Structure 1
Amino acid sequence: MRLRRASCLTCYWHDGEFVVHPYPGGTPTALHPAAAEILAAFDTWVEPAKAAEGLDHLHPDTVAEAAQVLHEAGALVAEGTAEADRDGQVAHRWQSWSPEASFFHYATQDIGTSDARLEDAVRPAGQTAAEGTAATAADGPSHVLFTEYPDADRVLLPRPPAELTLPYGQVLYARRTHRDFTDDPVPLPTLALLLSTVFGPVDYIDSGKGALFRRTSPAGGSRQELDAYLGILNVTGLAPGMYHYNVREHSVELLSPGMDRDETARLGADQDWFGNVAFFVVLAAVIDRMSSKYGSPRCYRVSLLNAGHLGQTFALTATALGLGPAQTGAFSDTPLADRLGLDNIGHTPLYVLAAGIPHPDPQLAAPQATLDTFRTRPATKPRPDPQA
């Protein structure tokens, strides 16, 4: 039987153990680091005995036994099998995003099972799964409801009456991602209403272990792990700079003064249009708020989804207020975190939203699709010829 190292395979150190982690569906297995050398010998289809010839410092029986263990774990796949076909298909389909995206996607699939496999691989001898879970929970961080900067200068925001009276259907179909903005400033009351509507507390609930608050967007477990930080360029009553939105106080706290269009564009991964926004909002995750309840790495997916929920509510609310919303996943994570004073460890940027006064004659908006557009790239696959 010829074997090959799985194309979808990640190796790492975890709790002092060297772990080989094939995906999808493989078993994370703690092995001696020498296993990496054996895996390297199976770069192409090869019999274990043939692979052992290149590992002349190891006995062939040792290589054969290791190959069996690695095959059972999924780190080696057998030629002509369904597992080998699937490994090749996944590697091909995800190749432009591998290994980071494909590993994250598959390693966090099937809630509970992937976590249990990793725990089994690295759990100390004699410790039960329940004991390991209890130890992890006991060592976990405490949950803090709000982020605040008590020593920062701040502006207490106005509380204008809600002017969200446009019909829902009108707002929904009017929403567009804008890239063109005028030089007109956004009124402070408009920004204040947008922030309170999207990020402010709607009410408070008893979680059984303390209070949590709800927003107008869904959030996994009501953890509200996403804080809103603002880059202000063109808002009446606010000097340009980086701020934090204090949701409890309904204020913006000045973190660092100064902000211009060139710096904004650089923080937005050198996107020119991003330098023309009136303000932008950085959604930064406080990891402790989520991990203090949920120990599964799958919950990082939930944080990303939560950012999307807030982004949609932001876009719809901005549209209802006459603003042109935008959002981008392209930004310079480390410089942005540094500018905000975030450690980028337990408090890290996930998503960036923005808005301004929409330009009446946008130049960067995509044109409407025409007949030639659909001729160039058909919307569906051609129907098979029944006479063929």
Structure 2
Amino acid sequence: MRLRRASCLTCYWHEGEFVVHPYPGGTPTALHPAAAEVLAAFDDWVEPAKAAESLDHLTPDTVAEAVQALHEAGALLAEGSDEADRDEKVARRWQTWAPEASFFHYATQDVPYADLERAGGNRQGEADTTPVDTAVSAVDGPSHSMFTEYPDADRVLLPRRPADLRVPYEQVLYARRTHRDFTDDPVPLPTLATLLSTVFGPVDYIDSGRSALFRRTSPAGGSRQELDAYVGILNVTGVDPGMYHYNLREHSLELLSPGLGRDEVVRLGAGQDWIGGVAFLVVLTAVIDRMSSKYHTPRCYRVSLLDAGHLGQTFALTATALGLGPAQTGAFCDTPIAERLGLDNIGHTPLYVLAAGTPHPDPKWAPPRATLDTFRATTLR
């Protein structure tokens, strides 16, 4: 029987052990680090005895035991097996994004959901270098941080006069577009305030059985509300340009660092010229402990990404209803943005960038409508 190393395979150190983790469907297995050398001998289909010739510094029994363990774990695959066929298909389909995306996707599949709500520890940040989290004690589990606040920061208290959001739903839904062209007209502060409170503010508070939680206008996994909103102001009436944190409990903008120019925004936005024309941007950041203190499975990082998408859609629809042109992008420079916001990029990290401005009446970046020639060049089925 000839064997080959799985193409979909990640190895790593975890809690002092060397782990071989094939995917999809393989078993993460702790082995001696020499297993990596054994795996290297199976780069292509080969009989175990033939592969052992290149491992002559290891005893035959050691090689045989390693091969058996690696085969049972799914790290070595038998020629002609269903597992080998699936491995080749997955590797081929995911090759553009491998190994990072494919490993994350499959390693977080099929988790034991009965274990999702085990209680765990909650880490707290250093007071002198990180924002203050308003902690709520749990009855039978760890405390969780309900809000992020910067108590010593200068702030702008936002108006609470609601803007008119009574635009028909159908009109808003079909009018929503991703905008790339904006005028130089400033966004009125009451409009920004309404957008922030509608998308990110608390709607009500609930008793989770452990502690109080709050709900927003968007769904959130377990109502953990692990996503914070940081606002970069470029062109809003009554607010100086700079980087701010939206304090949703106080309904205020907390100044983190003054000054923000269009060239810097373009650099932070991975060189995309259009983002320099927005009136403001909103960086969604994840407070990891707020989710992981309750949910220990790594699948819940997926949930945080989905939650960012939920907030992004609510942002886009609300901005449209307010007469703004919304935009969003996953293309941004993570580390420079985290540094600009004063985040450690460890327990508090950026996930998504939203933006808006006054939409241009004659957009140059708007895509043309598809024509007959367009459809002729398109594979429809």
Does the alignment reach a TM-score above 0.5? yes
In structure 2, what residue type is equivalent to 1:102? S
Structure 2 residue 160 is matched with structure 1 residue 159 = yes
Aligned to 2:46: 46
CA distance in 1, matches of 2:186, 2:53: 72
Q: Give the partner amino acid of 1:71.
A: H
TM-superposed CA distance for 1:41, in Å, is 0.5
Q: Which string of whole-angstrom CA distances, capped at 9 and with x for unpartnered residues, describes residues 10-47 of structure 1?
A: 00011111000000000000001011000001011111
Deviation (angstroms), 1:378: 3.0
Instruction: Please report how far the alpha carbon of residue 63 of structure 1 lies from its aligned counterpart in structure 2 after TM superposition.
Output: 1.2
Amino acid at match of 2:77: V
1:242-301 per-residue CA deviation (whole Å, 9 max, x = no partner) reads 000000000000000010000000000110001111100000000010001100000000
Deviation at 1:139, TM superposition (A): 3.6
Deviates more, 1:104-113 or 1:36-45: 104-113
What amino acid maps onto 1:308 in structure 2? Answer: G
For the residue of structure 2 that corresponds to 1:253, the secondary structure is strand
1:60 CA drift (Å): 2.3
Q: Distance in 1 between matches of 2:312 and 2:367?
A: 21
Where do residues 31-70 of structure 1 align in structure 2 (5 Å cutoff)?
Answer: 31-70=31-70
2:220 is equivalent to residue 219 of structure 1: yes
- Shift in CA distance, 114/224, structure 1 to aligned 2, threshold 3 Å: closer
Q: How does 1:102-113 map to 2 (within 5 A)?
A: 102-112=102-112
How far is the alpha carbon of 1:65 from its aligned partner? 2.0
Aligned to 1:244: 245
* Distance across 2 between alignment mates of 1:359 and 1:155: 28
Secondary structure at the aligned position of 1:322 is classed as coil
Number of aligned residues: 362
Match of 1:85 in 2: 85
Which secondary structure state, in structure 1, belongs to the residue aligned with residue 315 of structure 2?
helix
Q: Which residue of 2 aligns with 1:28?
A: 28
Q: Is the CA contact (8 Å cut-off) linking 1:179 and 1:326 kept in structure 2?
A: yes
| Two-structure CA RMSD over aligned residues (Å) | 1.5
For 2:195, the equivalent position in structure 1 comes to 194
8 Å contact from structure 1 (residues 3, 79) kept in 2: yes
- SS of residue in 1 equivalent to 2:253: strand
The match for 1:234 is: 235
In structure 1, C-alpha distance between the alignment counterparts of 2:56 and 2:67, rounded to whole Å:
15
Following superposition of structure 1 onto structure 2, how do residues 273-284 of structure 1 map, counting pairs within 5 Å? 273-284=274-285
Which segment drifts farther, 104-113 or 198-207? 104-113
- Cα-to-partner distance string for 1:151-182 (whole Å, 9 max, x where unaligned): 00000000112410110000000000000000
Q: For 1:234-273, list aligned pairs within 5 A.
A: 234-273=235-274
What is the aligned partner in structure 1 of residue 370 from structure 2? 369
Q: TM-score, normalised by structure 1?
A: 0.91
Alignment partner of 1:280: what SS?
strand
In structure 1, give the amino acid aligned to 2:38: I
What corresponds to 1:13 in structure 2?
13
Q: Does the CA contact (< 8 Å) of 2:163 and 2:190 recur in 1?
A: no
- CA drift of 1:115 comes to 8.7
Structure 1, 205-214 or 173-182: larger mean CA deviation? 205-214
Native 8 Å contact 2:121 2:293 kept in 1: no
Q: State how far apart, in whole Å, the 2-side matches of 1:114 and 1:256 are.
A: 44
Q: In 2, Cα distance between the equivalents of 1:329 and 1:379?
A: 27
CA distance in 1, matches of 2:16, 2:79: 33
Can you list the C-alpha shifts for 1:98-148, whole angstroms capped at 9, x where unaligned? 0000000000000228999xxxxxxxxxxxxxxxx97xx454443110000
After TM superposition, list the pairs within 5 Å mapping 1:165-180 onto structure 2: 165-180=166-181
* Percent of aligned positions that are identical: 82
Question: What SS is found at the alignment partner of 2:174?
Answer: helix
User: Structure 2: which amino acid aligns with 1:80?
Assistant: G
Instruction: Give me the whole-angstrom Cα distance separating, in 2, the residues matched to 1:237 and 1:363.
Output: 29
Distance 2:8 2:113 in 1: 18
Alignment partners' CA distance in 2, 1:139 and 1:198: 29
Aligned to 2:144: 143
> CA separation in 2, counterparts of 1:221 and 1:52?
51
Matches of 2:115 and 2:225, distance apart in 1: 24
Task: Say which is worse superposed, 140-149 or 313-322, in terms of deviation.
Answer: 140-149
CA distance in structure 2 between the partners assigned to 1:337 and 1:367 by the alignment: 36
Q: Which amino acid aligns with 1:178?
A: H
2:281 maps to a residue whose letter is F
Aligned-partner residue type, residue 367 of structure 1? P
What residue number does 1:386 align with? none
Letter in 2 for 1:371: L
SS in 2 for 1:91: helix
Distance, in Å, in 2 between the alignment partners of 1:370 and 1:32 is: 60
| Paired position in structure 2 for 1:126 | none
Contact 2:120 2:294 in 1 (8 A): no
- Pair 1:95 & 2:88 matched: no
The one-letter code matched in structure 2 to 1:340 is L
One-letter amino acid of the structure 1 residue matched with residue 295 of structure 2: Y
Aligned-partner Cα distance in 1 for 2:162–2:145: 30
Which secondary structure does the structure 2 equivalent of 1:58 belong to?
coil
Q: Which residue of 2 aligns with 1:206?
A: 207
- Hey, what's the Cα distance between the residues in 2 that align with 1:111 and 1:143? 23
Q: CA deviation at 1:207?
A: 1.1
Residues 293-304 of structure 1 aligned to structure 2 (within 5 Å): 293-304=294-305
**Which moved further from structure 2: 242-251 or 107-116?**
107-116
Secondary structure of the structure 2 residue equivalent to 1:144: strand
Taking structure 2 as the reference length, the TM-score comes to 0.93
Contact 1:108/1:114 (<8 A) preserved:
no
On the 8 A contact 1:178/1:325 being kept in 2, the answer is yes
